[in-house]
Chain A
């Protein structure tokens, strides 16, 4: 009888505690994503714009002498859009400028435009922006990576940080 009671107690204990089902815990994985427009609200100075642009296109720093010279050139022309376009197209004539080839761009348009947004705007592309560019590239087969880089470098968002 005593053994039987012990057996009942053991069975009861096992029934009570061994079948306790664990509740699932749901968690979110951390994803690095920069916000839309990345909170840019400060206008770059001419020197900042040129040094950042140069580093972006040549993957090397601009010498201080050249930075002053280019800044003076931009200051000497009132319409800054015109001045930037002339300086930038002068950069594009250099052999050292580092731009993906057109064939590389066309081989993976999605990857190219994602990387371009990160390179120039330091943020992720939105789906609306992706759709515009993919459609634009597909309907304009002659658009080159250089033209895309020019458009980004001359855009207003690139003037801010």
Chain B
């Protein structure tokens, strides 16, 4: 009898210890690791960047057979800029003749760890960003479909219990199915763990001015409260027989904060006080400015910023060089803004910068106004990218790999973000990643 009682108690006790419990956030267990930083900002330096004009600093020397080499990304990379045939800057006398002044006193390369030659097996825009965000190659997935495996936003929210407004995906537009990447269709994850997507140059652009700016401001208690009570009644009746709608799980308070943010941005835009970089003459740079505002307002745990102006390289190489130079300027401004304008994130944020894929070795035959050839993305040169990491606990001034020695893969980025935010073991235990290695494992 005593033995039976003992076994019963042991089983109950054991079950209590081992049984997972579901927290309100939907997570099953506490995250198992320590954070290296409380915030990650990942800049998908996207649109297809050639190693030759970025890491290898060959400017026109390689691409256009014109003997002018140099570094046009001098906030991110060490190296002197080119001195001949300058087309990438702002315009003084002729198009692009004036390089944008350097933002950072120390390059990100000096401040962080730089993987110079990384593999990216997919070379399409949507597939590339999809892989960056999911840590999985989506070989069977086309455009206009949500990711099949969870995004890093969903892992973060489900495995660590983060709120919706702590995860942001900021795109420089709504093309290329980019808005679909805020969450996946995976049955264990999905909308309720998604990120808040924002394409600010659309929201706060001409269309937004016309259709969003004059939104009524309803009183929270006197108007919104009864309005929501009626809506909840209607929704409850509907749920008894109808289908549920995807919902990323912003609480009412968070929704109010987002609406307030939208209102405030229109006002700041009118007063010219958006935190744009010193030069903000492109969609990418405008996006960076609004991303700074999101960081300042919400202090997100994870922010992914998608830039893609360099995609103009297909038919306008000069424009590609300008976009590359501006993306570097934007990244410099972003890092400077985090360190100096957002005290809660200063010294407590890791920034990762990586392209979604590269570009071809050979030109496509399309000449621009400077008689420069354009480049597509389809050959093995397009599978070459870099990865830069800077932040607390990350080795400074460390470069790994070279043109003849690839180290790392694009699928290592998702576990790297998880490791920085202290849930790498949890994400690995899901068994859903293509690689369990982070970039830290490759140092």
Contact = CB atoms under 8 A, between A and B. Distances in A.
A41 interface: yes
Contacts of B164: 79
B211 A70 contact: yes
B255 A81 contact: yes
B245 A78 contact: no
Contacts of B202: 72-73, 75-76
B300 to A, nearest CB: 13
A73 to B, nearest CB: 5
A28 to B, nearest CB: 26
A36 B202 CA distance: 39
A156 B174 CA distance: 24
Contacts of B207: 69-70, 72-73
A157 B238 contact: yes
Contact of A78 (B195, B228, B243): B195
B68 interface: no
Contacts of B222: 142
B242 interface: yes
A3 to B, nearest CB: 79
Contact of A37 (B198, B228, B241): B241
B218 A89 contact: yes
Interface size class of B (residues with CB under 8 A): 35 or more
A155 B239 CA distance: 11
Interface string A132-161: 110010001011000110111011110110
A131 to B, nearest CB: 11
Contacts of A92: 216
B243 A85 contact: no
A44 B402 CA distance: 51
Interface residues of A, number: 44
A90 B212 contact: yes
Contacts of B203: 73, 76-77
Contact of A156 (B179, B217, B226, B245): B245
B374 interface: no
Contact of A82 (B194, B200, B259): B259
Contacts of B227: 147, 150-151, 154
A80 to B, nearest CB: 8
B188 interface: no
Given A76-B198, A147-B226, A150-B227, A82 B258 contact: yes
A104 B216 CA distance: 23
A19 to B, nearest CB: 55
Contact of A87 (B196, B212, B228): B212
B242 A40 contact: yes
B104 interface: no
A138 B294 CA distance: 42
A132 B258 contact: no
B378 interface: no
Given A93-B216, A140-B226, A151-B234, A78 B255 contact: no
Given A37-B241, A43-B243, A79-B196, A136 B212 contact: no
B93 interface: no
Interface string B143-185: 0000000000000000000001000010000100001001000
Given A69-B207, A86-B262, A136-B229, A77 B242 contact: no
A129 interface: yes
A142 B215 CA distance: 21
B297 to A, nearest CB: 15
B214 interface: yes
Nearest to A41: B243
B198 to A, nearest CB: 6
B238 A85 contact: no
Nearest to B200: A76
A87 B200 CA distance: 16
Contacts of A155: 231, 234-235, 238
B199 interface: yes
B208 interface: yes
A107 B420 CA distance: 62
A89 B215 contact: yes
Contacts of A41: 242-243
A112 B246 CA distance: 31
Contacts of B250: 79, 81-82
A82 to B, nearest CB: 5
B223 A78 contact: no
A151 B231 contact: yes
Given A72-B202, A79-B248, A147-B230, A93 B214 contact: yes
Contacts of A87: 211-212, 215
B74 interface: no
24 contacts: A40-B242, A66-B210, A70-B207, A72-B202, A72-B207, A73-B208, A76-B174, A76-B197, A76-B208, A78-B195, A79-B248, A79-B258, A80-B245, A85-B255, A85-B259, A89-B217, A90-B216, A129-B237, A136-B230, A151-B230, A151-B231, A155-B235, A156-B234, A157-B235
4 nearest A-B pairs in the assembled complex, by CB-CB distance = A78-B197, A151-B230, A76-B202, A76-B199
Given A41-B242, A151-B227, 13 more contacts: A75-B202, A76-B202, A77-B262, A78-B182, A78-B197, A78-B248, A82-B250, A87-B215, A90-B212, A136-B230, A152-B234, A156-B238, A157-B242
